[in-house]
Structure 1
Amino acid sequence: MRVLKLCAVTAITACTPVPQHHEPSRAISMENNLPPMRTFASNNVSLPTRPNSELLNDFLDLTFRLESGRNVPLFTRFEGPISVRLTGSPNSLLVSDLRALISRLQSEAGLDIYLTGAPNASITIEAIPQAELQSTARNVACFVVPRISNWAEYKANRRTPQTDWTTLERRDKAAIFVPADVAPQEIRDCLHEELAQALGPLNDLYRLPDSVFNDDNMHSVLTSFDMLMLRTYYAPELRNGMTRGEVAARLPAILARLNPAGERMTGRPLNATTRDWIEQIETALRSQNNAGQRRNAAENALNLSISHRWNDARHGFANFVFGRLQVGRDDELARAAFTAADRAYRASNETRLQTAHVALQLAAFSLSSGNYIETLARADEAIPIAAAHENAALLATLLMFKAEALDHLGRAEEAQSVRMDSLAWARYGFGSEQNVRARLQEVAALDPR
Structure 2
Amino acid sequence: MIRSLLLASSVFALVAACDTVPFEDPPSRAQIAESSLPPMKAFSVAHPSAPARSNGNIAADFLDLHFQLESGRELPVFTRFETPISVRVTGAPPSNLRHDLTRLLARFRTEAGIDIRQVQGSDANITIEAVDRSEIRRALPQAACFVVPNASSLSEYRRNRHSPKTNWALLRDRSRLGVFIPRDASPQEIRDCLHEELAQAIGPLNDLYRLPDSVFNDDNVHTVLTGFDMLILRATYAPELRTGMTKGQVAAQLPRILARLNPQGVGLPTRPVAVTPRSWVENVQAALGPGSKPEQRRQAAHAAAATAQQMGWRDHRRAFSHYILGRMTQGHDPDLAQRHYHSAMQFLENSPDTQLHRAYVSTQIAAYQITKGNGDGALANIRPYLPVAAQSENAALLSTLMMLQAEALELINRPDQARIVRLDSLGWARYGFGSDWAVRAKMQEISALNPQQKTGI
TM bucket normalised to smaller: over 0.9
Of stretches 164-173 and 39-48 in structure 1, the one that deviates more from structure 2 is 39-48
CA distance in 2, matches of 1:239, 1:367: 55
- Tell me which residue corresponds to 2:207: 204
Deviation at 1:282, TM superposition (A): 1.6
CA distance in 2, matches of 1:81, 1:218: 31
- Tell me which residue corresponds to 1:4: 5
Deviation at 1:348, TM superposition (A): 2.7
* SS of residue matched to 2:144: strand
- Tell me which residue corresponds to 1:374: 377
Match of 2:338 among 335, 340, 343: 335
- What one-letter code is carried by the residue in structure 2 that aligns with 1:406? L
Match of 2:84 among 74, 81, 84: 81
**1:393-449, CA deviations, whole angstroms, 9 ceiling, x for partnerless residues?**
000010000001111211111111100110011010011111100000000111222
- Tell me which residue corresponds to 1:358: 361
Deviation at 1:271, TM superposition (A): 1.4
- Tell me which residue corresponds to 1:149: 152
CA distance in 2, matches of 1:218, 1:94: 21
- Tell me which residue corresponds to 2:109: 106
Deviation at 1:30, TM superposition (A): 1.8
* In the alignment, structure 1 residue 244 sits paired with structure 2 residue 265: no
CA distance in 1, matches of 2:209, 2:82: 29
Deviation at 1:349, TM superposition (A): 3.4
Distance 1:159 1:285, change over 3 A: farther
Contact conserved, 2:314 with 2:351, CA < 8 A, in 1? Answer: no
CA distance in 1, matches of 2:51, 2:251: 23
Of stretches 324-333 and 335-344 in structure 1, the one that deviates more from structure 2 is 324-333
- Tell me which residue corresponds to 2:322: 319
* In the alignment, structure 1 residue 51 sits paired with structure 2 residue 57: no
* SS of residue matched to 1:358: helix
- Tell me which residue corresponds to 1:259: 262
CA distance in 2, matches of 1:194, 1:297: 28
CA distance in 2, matches of 1:273, 1:139: 21
Deviation at 1:7, TM superposition (A): 3.7
* SS of residue matched to 1:217: coil
Deviation at 1:27, TM superposition (A): 3.6
CA distance in 2, matches of 1:102, 1:7: 27
- Tell me which residue corresponds to 1:402: 405
- What one-letter code is carried by the residue in structure 2 that aligns with 1:126? E
CA distance in 2, matches of 1:188, 1:429: 10
* SS of residue matched to 1:33: coil
**1:63-117, CA deviations, whole angstroms, 9 ceiling, x for partnerless residues?**
1111111111110000110000011111111101000000000000000000000
* SS of residue matched to 1:404: helix
- Tell me which residue corresponds to 2:396: 393
Deviation at 1:47, TM superposition (A): 4.3
- Tell me which residue corresponds to 1:419: 422
- What one-letter code is carried by the residue in structure 2 that aligns with 1:173? R
Deviation at 1:9, TM superposition (A): 6.2
Equivalence map 1:210-221=2 (5 Å)? 210-221=213-224
CA distance in 2, matches of 1:206, 1:310: 12
CA distance in 1, matches of 2:139, 2:226: 30
Deviation at 1:325, TM superposition (A): 1.2
- Tell me which residue corresponds to 2:297: 294
CA distance in 1, matches of 2:36, 2:391: 27
CA distance in 1, matches of 2:228, 2:412: 41
Contact conserved, 2:49 with 2:226, CA < 8 A, in 1? Answer: yes
- Tell me which residue corresponds to 1:15: none
- What one-letter code is carried by the residue in structure 1 that aligns with 2:167? D
CA distance in 2, matches of 1:30, 1:45: 38
- What one-letter code is carried by the residue in structure 2 that aligns with 1:384? P
Contact conserved, 2:78 with 2:245, CA < 8 A, in 1? Answer: yes
Contact conserved, 1:47 with 1:210, CA < 8 A, in 2? Answer: no
CA distance in 1, matches of 2:362, 2:52: 25
CA distance in 2, matches of 1:276, 1:434: 39
Contact conserved, 1:235 with 1:254, CA < 8 A, in 2? Answer: yes
Of stretches 233-242 and 279-288 in structure 1, the one that deviates more from structure 2 is 279-288
CA distance in 2, matches of 1:162, 1:332: 52
- Tell me which residue corresponds to 1:120: 123
- Tell me which residue corresponds to 1:29: 30
Deviation at 1:250, TM superposition (A): 1.0
CA distance in 2, matches of 1:38, 1:396: 11
Deviation at 1:59, TM superposition (A): 0.4
- Tell me which residue corresponds to 1:305: 308
- What one-letter code is carried by the residue in structure 2 that aligns with 1:185? Q
* In the alignment, structure 1 residue 39 sits paired with structure 2 residue 42: yes
- What one-letter code is carried by the residue in structure 1 that aligns with 2:367? A
Contact conserved, 2:373 with 2:411, CA < 8 A, in 1? Answer: no
* In the alignment, structure 1 residue 188 sits paired with structure 2 residue 225: no
Of stretches 332-341 and 437-446 in structure 1, the one that deviates more from structure 2 is 332-341
* SS of residue matched to 2:106: helix
Of stretches 166-175 and 1-10 in structure 1, the one that deviates more from structure 2 is 1-10
- Tell me which residue corresponds to 1:20: none
Contact conserved, 1:51 with 1:266, CA < 8 A, in 2? Answer: yes
Over 2 Å off, 4+ runs: 5-10
CA distance in 2, matches of 1:44, 1:372: 31
**1:240-263, CA deviations, whole angstroms, 9 ceiling, x for partnerless residues?**
111111111111111111111100
CA distance in 2, matches of 1:8, 1:326: 19
Contact conserved, 2:319 with 2:344, CA < 8 A, in 1? Answer: yes
RMSD between superposed Cα atoms in Å: 1.3
Contact conserved, 2:213 with 2:226, CA < 8 A, in 1? Answer: yes
CA distance in 2, matches of 1:42, 1:93: 16
Gaps spanning 5+ residues in structure 2: where? Answer: 12-26, 453-457
